[in-house]
Structure 1
Amino acid sequence: MQKIFQVVCVVLIAAAVMFGGRWYMYVAQAQSPYDEVGIALNGYMPGPLRNWGCHKLQQRFPGQLPPYGCAGADGRSWR
């Protein structure tokens, strides 16, 4: 039973690192704010991380329309 628990923990930690790392690469180093995988991962992040990611994207791409999930009510302004 302990071995199964260890395997489950390792798989969960590995998945968190893999998806969290991919999300961070999108927020911090993407060539475009419209990367579909990055947008989807940003949508799954908890509120404070999602807001931080949107703010970081806004700083990196100030003259572009916000991606889905970072847009205000009108769809054209950053929230």
Structure 2
Amino acid sequence: MQRLEAIAFPLANPKLWLRYVDDAFVIVRKVQLEHLHNILNATLPGIKFTREKESDAKLPFLDVLLQRQLDGT
């Protein structure tokens, strides 16, 4: 995973990258989302990433429901 991060980070410059076991929580600009997803899936053929988009400013991650506030925080 460190090799993957070393390759993907300089190309996509995520604002936040957190991982726990086989899950990752990433914050990037919308215009970079597809690009980062493609980089992650192309870097290591044995690892494929899926993604979930927020719905109504909410995003489930592990056993937590994250909610974005109106001011974007």
- TM-score by length of structure 2 reads 0.34
- TM-score by length of structure 1 reads 0.32
